[in-house]
Structure 1
Amino acid sequence: MIRAAAGVVAAALVVSLVGAGSSDASPVVLTERVVTDPVVALPAAASTTVIRYRSTSVRGRPTTMSATLLLPRSKPPTAGWLLAVWSHMTVGGADRCAPSVARRGDPELPHMTSGDQIVGRLLRAGFAVVRPDFEGIGSPGPHPYLIGSSLATSVIDAAAAVVAFDRRIGHEVVVAGHSEGAVASLFAAAQPASRWGSLRLKAVAAVTPPTQMGAIVDSVAQSPVGGGLGLIADLTGLAALLVSGASAADPAFEQLARDGGLSRRALTLMRHIDDRCYGGLTADDSFGGMAPSAMLGPRGARLKSELVRIVEANDVAGLRLPVGLPVRIDAGYVDGVAPYPLVAGLVDTYRSRGSQVAFVGHPAGHTPVPTSQGAAESIAAWLVRRGR
């Protein structure tokens, strides 16, 4: 159970984190590079361009971020192409994990490209699509993993930058994403209309959004079992990303992790965040080979408590989506990262706050949900109907 006291602290913290992600500088494209490699440049696109755009870091400093812009083969209508922002699932925090630099044979490719079937269908329906890499992935600084304000900034600034960059792109936008990208999409959708500027958000689709991760962290951190055992290895890899993300957002937490919050072994392994993708972090020679409890140092109890608070502050369950905004959430019946009952509870929470949510379950685990032909077709068709 999420403790009430932690929830109060979480609510205060999310306000400070969202404020830290705001920016007065208009997002603009700074560099552009046309790519033709079919791993990144999907066949349905008339052109694919990797861009770097001006944005703001989670600590409120000017930074740049990267993204991929794919344009449809159809002619733009009078009001411009509809725009979709697709946000990727968890890939890690290293620059080499950025979907914009994906290469054939990369072991992380299934995660980098999990939304390709949806994106391809949106392109064929006449949408322009921008795919942000997120702060710190392929761009300066660390990646604030699952920190809502950073993810929302990546999404909104990518959309604003490409609309200013190519006048053939209109101002009506749908946002969608998978896993971490689902969190990014929901946090972006929850931002006030003023944050979107001249853009008009028309719908949000979230595929397997993680929720109640604070409770999962609190429970898993006590486990003495490790050594590459399936789901435990996956969750230990996620825990390492959560620690890194919290450190990127909060200097005090970063100091605590260095000063006894993490064990010596875990501190040594933290360098893997900079050069390994998620799959590498779950390997036996990395965090996947550790028992979760072995990650904690002498001040581990304090670190765990602070991490739970930050994770809860950035839980999508705390969001209030705009009344009237069409929302779709997809979940896997056998998902170990975003368990179906927890996602169903998230849907109930949103509905209790007045949101109209379409909820669809699939006989799949976490990664495969958007990759099946039927699910991809259904999600893309829903976005197309709401976008128009």
Structure 2
Amino acid sequence: MNRLSLTTSLTALLAAGLVASGCAASTGGTSEPAPAVAAEGGTLSSSVPLDHRRLPSAQGEWLISYTSADAGGKPITVSGTVSVPKSPPPQAGWPVISWAHGTTGTADVCAPSADRPGGPAHSYVGLVDQTLDRWVAAGYVVVQTDYEGLGTPGEHPYLNGRSAANAVTDIVRAARQVDPGVGSDWFAVGHSQGGHAALFTAAADQQAAGLSLRGAVSIAPGGFQTSQTTTYFQQRTGEQGVRAALPFLPTMLIGAAAVDPGIVPEQLLGDDVRPVLDAARTTCQDGIREAAPTVRAERVFREGADLGRLTAYLKSQEPEGLALRVPTLVLQGTTDVLVSKPGTDQLVKSLCERSPAIGYAVYDGADHRQVLAASQPAAQRFTEDLLANRQPANACSRP
């Protein structure tokens, strides 16, 4: 299985945090450790057929649980869904799109697999499903991981590249145990937080056994320069710019603490913003936003709080230092105020310094969500070119 070697700022954080506003799964967040899982990563643990098709072009859909590994390599259980096409599988099996979703939150109620019409995240998840249905109609299997800690035991390590890449990879192996028509060729495709996950998957230092990762598509990727999150608040005074950003800070802190227990959100945040932290442990982004108080920037963090450990962790999860090992396509909208085009321009430039093949396409007038539908035809051309062994366009200039 893939295991990674880890080798503006605020707008990237916001993009990773806003795109989904919550989803119903079970109940509140869980803090108990995940039970030991002895099976190899990608082992199917359970499979339940779904009566209601989220993707109308699918012949069948299943809610599954499968084994994976957390950021430290410890075995865990992750949930997700598998959707297979109506068309008969080709000789090599259907190719697979492993979808990495945008932020829903860190509480168990935010697992996207439990989305339903009228649910707290349906405005986003329903929009995503429209795009994913186009992949199924084109003959691809679509698998959607919930990520570690969403709907399963343990905390969700928000924006941890290693954990997300493991979940994105291992669900493909699990899907091959659901339907024999699922092939070994696959692509990591994600949006916002999931765009970050797709980049970390593309940087995996080894291929998963029995699979062939052909490429990755990163749409409006989050995570760029997230280590500057702390300075965003520290360099401001008063209330300007705080209320919009505040709902995403506890999500980031809880995610960091899930990996590094030395990061204790309660010791870093001021008393005025504790309601936001409390909300983040039980609800999703809309509920967190509603709980966000009006607070001055200088009161966001506790006076004298040592933010060095948090900043160092966030730095380790920034995607700009990755060396991508498979062809990768980055897609960006010009009117995206959550992941800015200038920020993504910088990210692509940085990735080009270490990676051999990166495509980059920009969509005039598309915002953070509109870029999903606008870019899908280009993303599909990219995957089809790679499946046909055609070289995709390369945006990286070489001397």
> Normalising by structure 2, what TM-score?
0.82
Give matches, 1:246-325, under 5 Å: 246-254=256-264, 257-258=265-266, 260-283=267-290, 286-287=291-292, 289-300=294-305, 302-303=306-307, 305-322=308-325, 325=326
Distance 1:367 1:311, change over 3 A: farther
3-state SS in 2 of match to 1:244: helix
CA distance in 1, matches of 2:382, 2:47: 31
Aligned to 2:185: 172
Deviates more, 1:77-86 or 1:360-369: 360-369
CA distance in 1, matches of 2:288, 2:236: 18
**Aligned residue among 120, 129, 144 for 1:116:** 129
CA distance in 2, matches of 1:136, 1:116: 22
User: Unmatched 5+ residue regions in structure 1?
Assistant: 1-12, 16-22
Equivalent position of 2:51 in the other structure: 36
Matched, 1:376 2:376: yes
- Give how far 1:239 is off: 1.4
The 5 Å alignment of 1:1-388 reads 14=6, 25-38=40-53, 41-194=54-207, 196-210=208-222, 211-226=224-239, 232-254=242-264, 257-258=265-266, 260-283=267-290, 286-287=291-292, 289-300=294-305, 302-303=306-307, 305-322=308-325, 325-362=326-363, 363-370=365-372, 372=373, 374-388=374-388
Tell me the CA shift for residue 14 of structure 1. Answer: 4.2
SS at match of 2:339: coil
**1:273 and 1:352 mapped to 2: Cα distance?**
37
- SS class of match (1:243): helix
- Write the deviation string for residues 244-285 of structure 1: whole angstroms up to 9, x where unpaired: 10000101113xx33x322234345423223211122122xx
Q: Distance in 2 between matches of 1:355 and 1:24?
A: 35
**Displacement after TM superposition at 1:155 (Å):** 0.6
Highest RCO, 1 vs 2 (Cα 8 Å, sep ≥ 6)? 2
Contact kept, 8 Å, 2:323 with 2:355, in 1: the verdict is no
Could you give the per-residue CA deviations for residues 340-370 of structure 1, whole angstroms, max 9, x where no partner exists?
Answer: 1110111111222243222111222223320
RMSD: 2.3
TM-score of the superposed pair, with normalisation by structure 1: 0.84
Question: 1 CA distance for matches of 2:385 and 2:128?
Answer: 18
Contact (CA 8 Å) 2:98, 2:189: kept in 1 or not?
yes
Offset of 1:54 from its aligned partner? 1.4
User: 2: CA distance between counterparts of 1:375 and 1:60?
Assistant: 34
Could you say which structure has the higher helix fraction? Answer: 1
Other structure's SS at 1:253 match = coil
| Identity in percent | 26
Match of 2:19 in 1: none
Give the Cα–Cα distance (whole angstroms) in 1 for the partners of residues 293 and 330 of structure 2: 30
Query: Structure 2 vs 1, CA of residues 124 and 282 (structure 1 numbering), >3 Å: closer, same or farther?
Result: same
Q: Report how many aligned residue pairs link the two structures.
A: 352
CA distance in 1, matches of 2:205, 2:78: 22
Partner of 1:8: none
Contact 1:148 1:314 in 2 (8 A): yes
Partner Cα separation in structure 1 for residue 46 and residue 317 of structure 2 = 31
Question: 1:218-258: per-residue Cα shift (whole Å, max 9, x none)?
Answer: 223443444xx7x743421221111010000101113xx33
Letter in 1 for 2:218: A
Conservation of the 8 A alpha-carbon contact between 1:88 and 1:114: no
Distance 1:341 1:153 in 2: 29
Q: Residues 288, 76 of structure 1: CA spacing in aligned structure 2 closer, same or farther, 3 A cutoff?
A: farther
Q: CA deviation at 1:49?
A: 0.6
Give, in angstroms, the shift of residue 68 of structure 1: 0.7
Amino acid at match of 2:210: S
Partner of 2:397: none
